[in-house]
Structure 1
Amino acid sequence: METRTAAQRFADTWQRAWTNHDVAAITALYHDDAVHTSMPFRPPHHGKQAIADYIAWSFTGESEPTVTFATPIVDGDQAAIEFRVHALDNGRPTTLAGCVFARFNTDGLAVETRDYWHTADSHS
C-alpha cells in the first residue's frame, strides 16, 4: 500500500475511532510487532496488545471527545500527522494537541509510531 494512502487511512481511522473510543479499530492499524512511544521520556509499548492496553488506558476518564486529524505529511515510508481533541477529562473541559509520527510497512500497517502532545484546560 502506498504510504500516503496508509497515512490517510491511519488519520481517518484514528479520528473516527477516538471519537467512539473504539480501541479495536485503532489497533487494527498496527503491525503485530509495532512499537509505540507516547511522549519522549515514557517507555515504549511493544506489540499490538501493549498498544491496545495503552490506548484503552488513555481513554479512561475521557468523555465527549471531538477529534480532528490533519492531512498527513508524507516522506518515504513515514508520515507526520497533527491532531487535536476537545473532551471532558474527568468532567473538566480539556484540549489535547499533538502530532504522531508513523512509519508504515508495505501492507500499510504502522510498525513504529511516536506521539508528542500537550493538554490545556479549555475555556469555552
Structure 2
Amino acid sequence: MDTRTAAQHFADTWQHGWTHHDTDAIIALYHDDAVHTSMPFRPPHRGKHAIAEYITWSFTGETHQKVTFATPIVDGDQAAIEFRVHAHDNGAPITLAGCVFVRFDPHGLAVRTRDYWHTTEGHH
C-alpha cells in the first residue's frame, strides 16, 4: 500500500474511531510490534496490546466528542497528521489540538507513532 493511501486511511479511521470510541478499529491500524509515544517525555507503549490499553484509558470519561483529522502530509514512509477534538472530559468542555507522526510498513500498518498535543478548557 502506498504511504499516502495508508496515511489517509489512518486519519479517517482515527477520526471515526475516536468519535465513536471504537478502539478495535483504531488498533487494527497498527503492526503487532508497533511503538507509540504519547507526548515526548512519556514512556512508549510497545505492541498492539499496550497501545490498545492506552487508547482505552485515554477515552475514559470523554463524551460528546467531535473529532477532525487534517489531510496527511506525506514524505517517504512517514506522515504527519494534525487533529482537533472538542469534547467533554468528566463533564467539562475541552479542546485538544495536536499532531501525530506515523511511520508505515510496506503493508500500510503503523509501526511507529508519536503524538504532540495540548488541551485547553472550553471549546475554541
TM range (shorter): over 0.9
TM-score by length of 2: 0.99
Q: What residue is the counterpart of 1:83 in the other structure?
A: 83
Task: Map 1:23-102; keep pairs closer than 5 Å.
Answer: 23-102=23-102
Identity of aligned residues (%): 77
> Does the C-alpha gap of structure 1 residues 53 and 88 become closer, same or farther in structure 2, counting only changes over 3 Å?
same
Gaps of 5+ in 1: none
Q: Deviations over 1:32-71 (max 9, x none)?
A: 0000000000000000000000000000110011000000
TM-score by length of 1: 0.99
Cα shift at 1:122? 1.1
RMSD: 0.8
2:79 counterpart SS class = strand
How many residue pairs match? The answer is 124
2:15 counterpart SS class = helix
1:40 counterpart SS class = coil
What is the alpha-carbon distance in structure 1 between the residues aligned to residue 22 and residue 15 of structure 2? 10
What is the alpha-carbon distance in structure 2 between the residues aligned to residue 53 and residue 33 of structure 1? 14
